[in-house]
Amino acid sequence: EGEITSEDIGSLVMEALKTLDDIAYVRFASVYRNFTEAKEFGVLIDELSADQREAGNDEAGGTRD
């Protein structure tokens, strides 16, 4: 009890960076998740783009089809 793991800290940092700075988020994630292939960057960027589109739809009060 009362302990915070480095995994928890890394996850918190990633979530904070995601909302603050896309580039910093991708750079941190690549080290934190130990990317070994370029396609891992693509997957992460696709996820980030989807999250941003979803957030944009939420702010607009609807969804796009």
Domain map (residue ranges) of the chain: 6-60
Q: What is the pLDDT of residue 9?
A: 94
- CB-neighbour burial class of residue 46 (10 A; exposed 0-12, middle 13-18, buried 19+): exposed
Is this structure's pTM higher than 0.85?
no
What mean pLDDT do residues 3-12 have? 93
- Start-to-end C-alpha separation, the chain: 46
Q: What is the pLDDT of residue 58?
A: 75
pLDDT digits (tens, 9 = 90+) for 8-65: 999 999 999 999 999 999 999 999 999 999 999 999 999 999 988 998 877 666 544 4
Nearest to residue 41, comparing CAs of 55, 52, 27, 22? 27
Q: What is the pLDDT of residue 61?
A: 62
